[in-house]
Amino acid sequence: MANYDRDVHIDPDELYGRHAGSARRVSDREAVNWLNIRRSWQAYLLLLPVFALLLLFNYYPPVLGLVRAFYDWAPLKKPVFVGLQNFADYLFYYPESAREFTNIAKFLVYSMFAHVGMPFVMAELIYSVRKPAIKEFYRFLVVLPMLVPQLVALLLWRHMYDPAFGPINALLEVVGMGTLTRNWLGDPKTALYAVMMVNFPWVATVGTLICLGGLSQISDSIVDACLLDGCTGL
CB 55 within 8 A of CB 62: no
Alpha-carbon gap, residue 60 to 53, rounded angstroms: 10
pLDDT value for 224:
85
pLDDT digits (tens, 9 = 90+) for 197-218: 888 888 778 888 899 889 888 8
Polymer length of the chain: 234
Query: Is the pLDDT assigned to residue 70 strictly greater than 90?
Result: yes
Q: What is the pLDDT of residue 53?
A: 92
Contact 215, 124 (CB under 8 A): yes
Per-residue pLDDT, averaged over 118-132, amounts to 88
Q: Which position has the higher pLDDT, 231 or 35?
A: 231
pLDDT digits (tens, 9 = 90+) for 87-115: 998 888 888 888 899 999 999 999 899 88
Helix (H) or strand (E) holding 118: helix 118-128
CB 83 within 8 A of CB 70: yes
Question: Which pTM was predicted?
Answer: 0.59
Q: Which of 41, 40, 204, 24 is nearest to 112 (CA)?
A: 204
Q: What is the mean pLDDT of residues 219-225?
A: 85
Burial class (CB in 10 A: 0-12, 13-18, 19+), 73: middle
- Whether residue 158 is predicted with pLDDT greater than 70 in this model: the reply is yes
Bridge partners, 72 (sequence order): 80
Is residue 87 within a helix (H) or strand (E), and if so which, with residue range? helix 85-92
Give residues with Cβ within 8 angstroms of 154, minimum separation 6.
198
Q: Which residue has the higher pLDDT, 146 or 224?
A: 224
The whole-chain average pLDDT of the chain stands at 82
